[in-house]
Amino acid sequence: MHKRKIVYIVSDSVGETAELMVKAVLTQFHKEEIEIQSVSYVENTKDLQDIIKVARYNDSIIAYTIVIPSLKHYLDQRAKEKGIIAIDLMNPLMGAFSQTFNKEPNFQPRLMRKLDDNYFRRVEAVEFAVKYDDGQDVGGVKQADIVLIGVSRTSKTPLSMYLAHKRFKVANVPLVPEIPPPDELFTIPRNKCVGLIITPDKLNEIRKERLKNLGLTSQANYANLNRILEELDYAEKIMKRIGCPVINVSNKAVEETADVILAMLKKERSWIG
């Protein structure tokens, strides 16, 4: 009977790393008909027994990324007994890390997948913050984890981005006397919304600097103190009507304000860890 040439890729996670390495090596043997078979999420010795049972009847190599010591030891031992070559793709590098940096590995499978999931959640949150920035689309108010409201120049956008990098979906809505706030603000849970306020003098200073950077006169209505007082008064009335928590951002860095928001959310929402 003709024996097949097979590389079994075995992993206690998805096995993407092992598959990429095996395929890279396989390109150097392009004339050979070598099959690749992947076995993901190996959790116990029974899974490994099944692989070895099949592998012994072919010309086989087992290339694996298994970090659980007991499973790795079992596979090494059983493969040796059956005359099958089993290659640990991670251990040499993990050993070098341990020796050089004097650190022990976690020996926990699927950590790479967790990192990937965190990365994609962060990207999704940043895209959400961009889409629902500055009240561009009020549809985001109901979908958001956090909704920031306040007058112009109260750090809503940078705060949204900062929180997005912590994987929170944030929408922000400007409060302007001439524009009625979206109805959605009054239908979401109060603790999901956060009002940002600032002292009139500080806001006046920030807006004058903003106009200066834009090459505009500081006498514009945007930086007029009476106009600022009107806006702040209007904003505070909206916040009281909603009943949301309010943070004074006058002398706070974005990081400080974010910490306050996250502390409030952690206190009121047990799902935030």
Kindly state the tokens that stand for 6: 């097979």
The pLDDT value recorded for residue 101 is 87
In whole angstroms, give the CA distance from residue 81 to residue 66.
19
Residue ending a domain, choose from 109, 126, 149: 109
* Range(s) of the domain holding residue 18: 5-109
Do 101 and 124 have their domain in common? no
Do 89 and 132 have their domain in common? no
Do 103 and 134 have their domain in common? no
Domain count, the chain: 2
Do 157 and 243 have their domain in common? yes
Do 251 and 124 have their domain in common? yes
Do 57 and 123 have their domain in common? no
Q: Is the residue at 44 inside a domain?
A: yes
Do 71 and 174 have their domain in common? no
Q: Is the residue at 273 inside a domain?
A: no
Do 128 and 260 have their domain in common? yes
The pLDDT value recorded for residue 2 is 67
Residue ending a domain, choose from 77, 92, 109: 109
Q: Is the residue at 83 inside a domain?
A: yes
In whole angstroms, give the CA distance from residue 36 to residue 11.
13
Q: What is the pTM of this model?
A: 0.61
Q: Is the residue at 32 inside a domain?
A: yes
CATH number of the domain bearing residue 150: 3.40.50
Element (H, E) at 159: helix 156-164
Do 229 and 157 have their domain in common? yes
Q: Is the residue at 186 inside a domain?
A: yes
Q: Is the residue at 194 inside a domain?
A: yes
Kindly state the tokens that stand for 11: 């992993």
Say if residue 42 is exposed, middle or buried (CB neighbours under 10 Å; 0-12, 13-18, 19+). buried
Q: Is the residue at 241 inside a domain?
A: yes
Do 59 and 126 have their domain in common? no
Structure confidence by residue, pLDDT tens digits, 250-269: 999 999 999 999 998 887 75
pLDDT tens track, the chain, 273 positions: 567 899 999 988 877 888 888 988 988 886 678 899 998 888 899 989 999 999 998 899 999 988 888 999 999 999 999 999 999 998 888 888 888 888 887 777 666 555 557 777 888 899 999 999 999 899 999 999 999 999 999 999 999 999 999 999 999 999 999 999 999 999 999 999 999 999 999 999 999 998 988 888 766 889 899 999 999 999 999 999 999 999 999 999 999 999 999 998 887 754 443
The pLDDT value recorded for residue 109 is 65
Do 58 and 129 have their domain in common? no
Per-position DSSP letters for 67-117, written without gaps between them: --HHHHHHHHHHHHHTT-EEEESSHHHHHHHHHHH-------TTHHHHHHH
Do 91 and 187 have their domain in common? no
Q: Determine contact, residues 110/13, Cβ cutoff 8 Å.
A: yes
Residue ending a domain, choose from 91, 109, 127: 109
Q: Determine contact, residues 37/8, Cβ cutoff 8 Å.
A: yes
Structure confidence by residue, pLDDT tens digits, 56-113: 988 999 999 888 889 999 999 999 999 999 999 988 888 888 888 888 877 776 665 5
Q: Is the residue at 183 inside a domain?
A: yes
